[in-house]
Amino acid sequence: MKADSTGILTVEELKEIGRYPSEERMKQGPIAIAECTQNIPCNPCETSCPFHAITIGERITSLPVVDPAKCVGCATCVTACSGQAIFIVDKSFSEEVGTVSFPYEYLVKFKKDDIVKCANRAGEYVCDGKVKRVVLTAKADHCYVVTLEVPISMVDEVRSVYRTWED
């Protein structure tokens, strides 16, 4: 996998190893994607899901599997994941826009309805997006879940807010 030398996963790689939900499922509503590709001895994603939609199973080093029928996109697993590797995508709104939610453990310098620059898995600026939600629950222990509205073609790409070091 190319990510072994770069740290940057691609949708193609994730699809290849069967870790990406179908287009059809994403159009039906929010779903979690675990971008976790190595055999980490770890399972908070599985134990945190109130809907039992993530399975790691008996061997703690197995990869997490999201059940597209059970997942409701509640994002509990997003903050429970020790590797901050789980994202929620949703392409059910319209033909034009969709949403991406991701874990965020930095000072939050934006608020609902702000237009922000969006970054892909390589940290490159790929498009503008609108902040839909910034949620911090007590259980999440200081890890925010940020939800951005982005062009539908960018839902598979956007994974963070674009970072500039100036401020």
Partner 1 sequence: MKEYEMIVIGGGAAGLSAAIEAKRHGVNVLLIDSNDKAGGQLVKQTHKFFGAKMHRAGTRGFNICKELLKESEDLGVEVLLNGLVMGIYDGDTVAVDVKVSLTEHKLMMLKAKNIVISTGASENAVRFEGWTLPGVMGAGAAQTMVNYRHVLPGKKMLMIGSGNVGLIVSYQLMQAGVEIKGIVEALPKITGWQVHASKLTREGIHIYTGYTIKKAHGTDRVTGATIAKVNPDWSLVSGSEIEVDCDFICIGAGLKPLTGLAHMAGCELIYDKALGGWAPAHNYNMETTKKGIYVAGDATGLEEASTAIEEGTIAGAAIAEATGHLSAAEAEERKAGAWRRLADLRDGFHGEERLAAKNKQLAEYDRLMGVRE
Amino acid found at 69? A
**Residue 101 binds partner 1 (CB under 8 A):** no
Nearest alpha carbon to residue 36 among 66, 69, 64, 78:
64
Angstrom distance (rounded) from CA 45 to CA 35: 12
**Residue 152 binds ligand SF4 (CB under 6 A):** no
Identify whether the C-beta of residue 101 lies closer than 8 Å to the C-beta of residue 145: yes
Closer residue to ligand SF4 (CB): 66 or 150:
66
Pick out residues in 63-82 that bind ligand SF4 (CB under 6 A).
64, 66, 71-77, 81-82
Amino acid found at 5? S
Q: Where are the beta strands (DSSP E) in the chain?
A: 31-34, 54-55, 65-66, 86-90, 97-104, 115-119, 125-135, 144-151, 160-161
Residue 53 makes CB contacts below 8 A (sequence gap 6+) with 32, 66, 67, 70, 71, 72
The contact mask relative to ligand SF4 for 17-36 (x = CB under 6 A, - = no) is: ---------------x-x-x
**Residue 143 binds ligand SF4 (CB under 6 A):** no
Closest distance to partner 1 from the beta carbon of 25 (Å)? 23
The item of ligand SF4, partner 1, none sharing an interface with residue 51, based on CB under 5 to 8 Å by kind, is ligand SF4
Identify whether the C-beta of residue 89 lies closer than 8 Å to the C-beta of residue 26: yes
Closer residue to partner 1 (CB): 91 or 121:
121
Question: Could you list the residues that contact ligand SF4 (CB under 6 A)?
Answer: 32, 34, 36, 40, 42-45, 49, 51, 53-54, 64, 66, 71-77, 81-83, 85-86, 88
Question: Could you list the residues that contact partner 1 (CB under 8 A)?
Answer: 3-9, 35-44, 47-48, 59-61, 80-85, 105-106, 119-124, 141, 143, 159-160, 162-163, 165
